[in-house]
Amino acid sequence: MRKAIILVACGLLAGCDYTVPLVKTPELEIQAEVIGLWQRTKADGQIEKVLVLPLGKREYLVSFPAGSPDAMFARACLCRSADRTLVQLEWLGTAQAKLLEDDRVFQFAAYTLSGDTLTIRLLNSDCVKKDAKSSDELAKALLHNKDNPDLFRNEMVFSKVKN
């Protein structure tokens, strides 16, 4: 069972949370096993999909919910913070060509990958407050809360879609 921890927050978008990134330049290479189309069935029976594509050796392009008229698109990269590898998402806009209306374009997530199962947990903005003014301040807040059991929101479990 292969596990990777990443911040890939396909922000089942209750909205983007942060105005600052953890990293300004991607330094870690992407994990190829994450690339593809993933789906989950929500409690109400609705299917949600997330599409992860390579955007070079160090970035992903993420669409969520993929295939939906309301799909959002993000540039994502892996980064290290608080002794974890996370995914940093910068949400760019929607499939309707709508741009985000404020500066809260960043989300962060942890994930594990086990075979054809991708489990994503978004950073909980109740633990790491949204008001960080710099990347350093955000990283310090993450480090301060690294052992908090509520650091991440409830998990979202996706299965890889087979062609």
Q: Is 86 in contact with 22 (CB distance < 8 Å)?
A: yes
pLDDT score for 15: 58
Each domain of the chain, given as residue ranges in start order, spans 32-159
Q: Would the pTM of this model clear 0.85, i.e. be above it?
A: yes
Cα angle 21, 86, 47 (rounded to 5 degrees) comes to 100
Confidence (pLDDT) at 5: 24
Distance CA 63, CA 73 (A): 5
Segments of the chain scoring below 50 in pLDDT: 1-14
Tell me the Ramachandran region of residue 16: left when phi exceeds 0, alpha when psi lies from -120 to 50, beta otherwise. Answer: beta
- The pLDDT, as a whole number, for residue 14 is 43
> What's residue 8's pLDDT?
33
Residue 76: the pLDDT is 98
Q: How far is CA 104 from CA 48, 73, 83, 152, 163, in A?
A: 23, 14, 24, 18, 35
Dig out the tokens for 20 from the structure: 């600052």
Tokens 């596990």 -> residue: 3
- Kindly report, residue by residue over 107-144, the tens digit of the pLDDT: 999 999 999 999 999 999 999 989 999 999 999 999 99
> E strands of the chain, at which residues?
36-41, 47-54, 60-64, 72-81, 84-94, 106-114, 117-122, 156-160
